């Protein structure tokens, strides 16, 4: 699907929204931490755009990708452990420093709250980074629940974190709309039995959001809010 069909409606009691690449542009923060890690290891820095293409499956995978310059690359454990410690230290400094809220996010979140929807963030970012990032950017107030990449045993694209939200909020999956920017979001939502909307911006590991198995492409979160009929 390549355009919004405003005749298509989604009845829901809640919305689950991705963080990096959907709510916030965090590429500059992530790139700053990755490059500080690489420079400390005597490696060349990477362009922000390249680092952004590695985002999507959590910070551990991001570090592996940055070290191997490959989406599927993995480094040995004895090389990974010190690199991960370095990234973690640098990202604690950089987290939120350059992050910006995407256009339409505030309007969309407010519209969903005004409609009575419960809202949750599900991200593969560790909770210790996600919670302060939402607070620092003024978005925390909109959400009833935040689920990080370390909240449950498995991350997106596994449906476990999506189903965890349903259990915590007491809402059936078929009464939830998921909104994200990547294949991870689409697969997790589909496996959980939720409707899924995708934004065409953000971080999608090189895969155009318009190629995903989703119910609609929405230009902004506010446009997404216009498609949801609260139950």
pLDDT in tens, 164-194: 999 999 999 999 999 999 999 999 999 999 9
* Residue 3 or residue 58, greater confidence: 58
CATH architecture observed for domain 10-26+99-230: 3-Layer(aba) Sandwich (3.40)
Kindly state the percentage of the chain with pLDDT values over 70. 97
pLDDT score of 5 more than 90: no
Active site residue 18: yes
pLDDT (average), residues 108-114: 98
Contact at 8 Å (CB) between 229 and 11? yes
pLDDT (average), residues 14-37: 97
138: nearest Cα among 24, 219, 20: 24
115: nearest Cα among 17, 193, 2, 224: 224
How far out from the chain centre does Cα 206 lie? 15
pLDDT band at 137 (very low <50, low <70, confident <90, very high): very high
pLDDT band at 209 (very low <50, low <70, confident <90, very high): confident
pLDDT given for residue 208 in this prediction: 81
Q: Name the token pair of 66.
A: 């940055």
What is the DSSP annotation of 46-69?
Answer: --HHHHHHT-SS-HHHHHHHHHHT
pLDDT score of 143 more than 60: yes
Helix axes 59-68, 77-94, angle to 10 degrees: 120
Contact at 8 Å (CB) between 198 and 212? yes
5, 18, 29, 208: the active-site residue: 18
**Strand 100-101 with 24-25, pairing:** antiparallel
For the chain, residues classed under CATH 1.10.150 are 27-94
Q: In CATH, which of 1.10.150, 1.10.3470, 3.30.70, 1.20.140 is domain 27-94?
A: 1.10.150
How many angstroms separate the CA atoms of 208 and 128, rounded? 29
pLDDT band at 207 (very low <50, low <70, confident <90, very high): confident
Kindly report whether the global pTM for this prediction surpasses the value 0.95.
no
Tally of CA atoms within 13 A in the half-sphere of 34 that contains its CB: 29
pLDDT given for residue 7 in this prediction: 57
Kindly report the length of the chain.
231
Contact at 8 Å (CB) between 150 and 39? no
Kindly state the percentage of the chain with pLDDT values over 90. 91
For the chain, residues classed under CATH 3.40.50.1000 are 10-26+99-230
How many angstroms separate the CA atoms of 179 and 214, rounded? 10
Q: Name the token pair of 46.
A: 């990477």
pLDDT given for residue 73 in this prediction: 95
Q: Point out which residues pair with 10 in neighbouring strands.
A: 228
Question: How confident is the model over 51-80, as pLDDT tens digits?
Answer: 999 998 999 999 999 999 999 999 999 999
């Amino acid at each position: 699907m390549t355009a919004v069909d405003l005749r298509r409606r989604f009845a829901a009691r809640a919305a689950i929204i991705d963080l990096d690449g959907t709510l916030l542009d965090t590429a500059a923060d992530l790139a700053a931490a990755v490059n500080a890690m690489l420079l400390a290891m005597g490696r060349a820095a990477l362009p922000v755009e390249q680092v952004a293409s590695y985002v999507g499956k959590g910070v551990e995978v991001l570090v592996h990708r940055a070290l191997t310059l490959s989406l599927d690359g993995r480094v040995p454990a004895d090389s990974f452990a010190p690199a991960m410690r370095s990234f973690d230290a640098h990202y604690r400094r950089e987290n939120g420093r350059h992050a910006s809220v995407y256009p339409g996010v505030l309007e969309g979140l407010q519209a969903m709250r005004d409609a009575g929807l419960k809202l949750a963030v599900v991200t593969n970012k560790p909770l210790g980074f996600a919670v302060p990032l939402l607070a620092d950017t003024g978005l925390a107030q909109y959400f009833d629940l935040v689920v990080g990449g370390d909240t449950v045993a498995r991350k997106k694209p596994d449906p476990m974190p999506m189903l965890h939200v349903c259990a915590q909020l007491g809402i059936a999956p078929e009464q939830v709309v998921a909104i994200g920017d990547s294949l991870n979001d689409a697969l997790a939502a589909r496996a959980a039995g939720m409707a899924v909307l995708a934004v065409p911006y953000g971080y999608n590991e090189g895969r155009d959001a318009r190629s995903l198995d989703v119910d609609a492409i929405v230009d902004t979160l506010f446009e997404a809010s216009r498609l949801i009929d609260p139950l």
